[in-house]
Chains A and B, each alone.
Chain A
Amino acid sequence: MYQYDEYDRQIVRERAAQFKDQTRRYFAGQLSEDEYRPLRLQNGLYIQRHAPMLRIAVPYGLLASKQLRRLASISRKYDRGYGHFTTRQNLQLNWPEVARVPDILEELAEVEMHAIQTSGNCIRNITTDPYAGIATDELIDPRPLCEILRQWSTFHPEFAYLPRKFKIAVNGAIEDRAVTYLHDIGLHVLKNQQGELGFRVIVGGGMGRTPVIGKVIREFLPWQHILSYCDAILRIYNRYGRRDNPYKARIKILVNAIGPEKFAQQVEAEWAHIKDGPTTITQAEYDRVAAHFKAPPYANLAAVDAGFEKSKKDNTPFAKWVERNVRAHRVPGYAAVTLSLKKPGLAPGDCTADQMDFVASLADQYSFGELRVTHEQNLVLSDVAQSDLFEVWQKARDAGLATPTIGLINDIICCPGGDFCDLANAKSIPIAAAIQTRFEDLDYQHDIGNIEINISGCMNSCGHHHVGHIGILGVDKHDEEWYQISIGGQQGLSASLGKVIGPSFAAADVPDVIEKLISVYLAQRHVDELFIDVVERLGLELFQKAVYGERTRGGRVAERKVANA
């Protein structure tokens, strides 16, 4: 992975020192609350319901074992011994003290980490495919360009105070595993007819209060130009994005207001001025960065390991785990292992310090000392030899990290919600727990097959509920916590937004509703159809009937409007 040189190190050190001084001035009364807020946000520090929250950047989801160990020790020393992996592949600490955050940043800087721009109205952490570099359908390893984008976006002087936050995702494979259609800018790799690599540029996607599928504003952008093209997009956005209303300030609102064609023209006109300038990525710079992402020293292995095959035959739980949690690798004899952070009873994405240490040692022993964080809030050991899988499984199981449900109903994406987050309308973690309990039976889960349930505690959509096959959104109804349920959302190349099935529900009813939705699917499915396929084929009606009965919907729909007013 990328290793800092003296310049990178200098920048994170100076950042830590700058924030230390800002925090000192804040406590000395020299910086007002309002003045300190954007400064701390750009260092990932929120003031939350119970305590501050610190969001630490995990650039494009890649971590070295040494870094994970440091995160473990930081979470012990400054927090309550655990952290929460987010849908943006970052790590959040829920209980740090504001006064000690500068010390945390210093400790992070020592292992080439930071919390730069993990919040605030600026360019956020770049995200990508967690299987970058090992996926069988990859056209370009997105990590070097992600790192180049990370450096370009870090303290970009023109775009540090944008109208609103700005998220960029890069996908280097044929399949889209980076949700590129739901980012402010999504870059999706393509090869043109001459065999050159470039990106389809998608702008103005996003979740939140007004979910929108991004629009393609350029079919093919040669990779050398991604920085200057992003500069052009951001300049148009910084100049013309709305600042009068934070709910209308994202770039998607601008793109919709003037139309994607006109927006594209403005970007192209701006780009014409800066194209081929100094920001053009040189081959030398690309090569320098790409050298950091060279494949690890893989052994020459047979494509199929006999011992591994035998273990699968002899041990059904292992075979089930392999079926769900192990993924094909482009190198023969290797596999990618997903360590599940979705153990029923624990908040999805939560990881204890002991588990972090444990995963770090697994990575050292079995996966060249590296791991990845997925936006589904799990951890991935990307390069495990098949012959080691049985051992890895046994160890992971003992550490509570081998729940064999990746992609199944209990692999729920869930934001911290009302238990932690100030903005929440409702709790999300107990809803996830209740669903996981309802669907505890593994055979039942396997029978239901691939399905994604995503839960957000409010419209900010950190739990990506809009693209859940089933999306659950916390809403506030007369000061009570209610849940609005949608179906039919999905990520990927055919990204779509879920449709609300009807009036919202009390927390206690949610597992029943989910079960009713599932029973419609089980009754209606054709062979090989997933839940999402059945929703696409049949539409909402049968599902609504199962949930709401035959009652006339007019009155109830009116009620929903009140609930969301």
Chain B
Amino acid sequence: MPEIIKDRAIVTDDWVVVRLDEGKSVDMALPQGKLIVPLSMWLSRRDELISRGEVGVWLSDTDEPELVAQDLHLFKVVAVDFPKFAVGRGYSTAALLRTRYGYQGELRAIGDVLRDQMFYLARVGFDAFSVRPDRSISDALQALNDYSVTYQGSVAQTQPLFARVNRIAADERQNGS
């Protein structure tokens, strides 16, 4: 079974991401099991998908998170797809899902997910990562520790550095503290 990083650990994963490539349409026949479906499929087959039991949805880099805002309580997983690691719209999508729409379940980065972006992804609210299969998942896990300090607030740590620690002022330091 494939592995993902979840809550800072490597775990096996039984969710299947349904992609509509190769001429498939939203009406395609669905396999058994736990599915993370594209937003378009969710919007057109909502009732059916709910009746299947546990369901997840994924947003493409251009899908608006507003479109699932009312449905978030129905999902076990929400995934955001990164078509290329350097296409960064999904960072704002994640931040909005977490802060504006209050989503608290699993938020998973899928697609071109690589270790050098892990730290940022975690900070905007992703807690699960489906690392690109040709790359080492344990290396990627390590990258969550690339930095021990951050300046600005984020989803993971809402307070900026200046609000969470007492940074010593210039004067005090010059006096040799």
Contact = CB atoms under 8 A, between A and B. Distances in A.
Contacts of A29: none
A277 B151 CA distance: 15
Main secondary structure on B side of the interface with A:
loop
Contacts of B120: 155, 157-158, 160-161
Contacts, number: 115
What interface size band does chain A fall in?
A: 35 or more
A238 B92 contact: yes
Contacts of A282: 162-163
Contact of A7 (B89, B119, B153, B161): B161
B119 to A, nearest CB: 8
B37 to A, nearest CB: 23
B98 to A, nearest CB: 11
Contacts of B123: 157
B151 A155 contact: yes
Contacts of A157: 91, 119-121, 123-124, 150, 152, 154
Given A121-B86, A157-B120, A161-B88, A278 B153 contact: yes
Contacts of A162: 88
B89 A5 contact: no
Contact of B162 (A156, A243, A285, A291): A285
Contact of B151 (A22, A151, A287): A151
B169 interface: yes
Interface residues of B, number: 41
A324 to B, nearest CB: 35
A273 B158 CA distance: 14
A239 interface: yes
Interface in A232-246: 235, 238-239, 243
A454 B146 CA distance: 42
Contacts of B92: 158, 235, 238-239
Contacts of A160: 88, 91, 117, 120
B87 A161 contact: yes
B30 interface: no
A474 to B, nearest CB: 29
A292 B85 CA distance: 38
Contacts of A284: 162
Interface string A218-257: 0000000001000000010011000100000000000000
A243 B89 contact: yes
A14 B169 contact: no
B160 A278 contact: yes
B170 interface: yes
Interface string A140-160: 000000000001101111111
Given A3-B170, A5-B167, A288-B167, A159 B88 contact: yes
B148 interface: yes
B91 A152 contact: no
Nearest to B91: A158
Contact of B152 (A10, A151, A239, A285): A151
Interface in B119-175: 119-121, 123-124, 146-154, 158-163, 165, 167-171, 173
A434 to B, nearest CB: 40
B116 A39 contact: yes
Given A151-B152, A278-B153, A287-B169, A243 B87 contact: yes
Interface in B97-117: 99-100, 114, 116-117
A17 to B, nearest CB: 9
Contacts of A154: 151-152
Given A35-B116, A278-B160, A7 B154 contact: no
A282 B162 CA distance: 9
Nearest to B114: A35
A14 B89 contact: no
Nearest to B95: A158
A291 B99 CA distance: 34
Contacts of B150: 11, 155, 157
B16 to A, nearest CB: 27
Given A7-B167, A14-B146, A157-B120, A151 B161 contact: yes
B168 to A, nearest CB: 6
Contacts of B151: 7, 11, 151-152, 154-155
A288 B160 CA distance: 15
A35 B86 CA distance: 8
Contacts of B124: 157-158
B116 A11 contact: no
Contacts of B173: 3, 5
Given A279-B160, A288-B167, 18 more contacts: A3-B170, A3-B173, A10-B149, A14-B148, A152-B152, A157-B154, A161-B86, A161-B88, A238-B91, A239-B89, A278-B158, A278-B160, A285-B163, A287-B169, A288-B169, A291-B170, A292-B170, A294-B170
27 contacts: A5-B173, A7-B167, A14-B146, A18-B146, A31-B116, A35-B116, A155-B120, A155-B150, A157-B91, A157-B119, A157-B124, A158-B95, A158-B120, A159-B88, A161-B86, A161-B91, A227-B152, A239-B89, A278-B158, A278-B159, A278-B163, A279-B153, A279-B160, A282-B162, A282-B163, A284-B162, A285-B167
Interface of B: 85-89, 91-93, 95, 99-100, 114, 116-117, 119-121, 123-124, 146-154, 158-163, 165, 167-171, 173
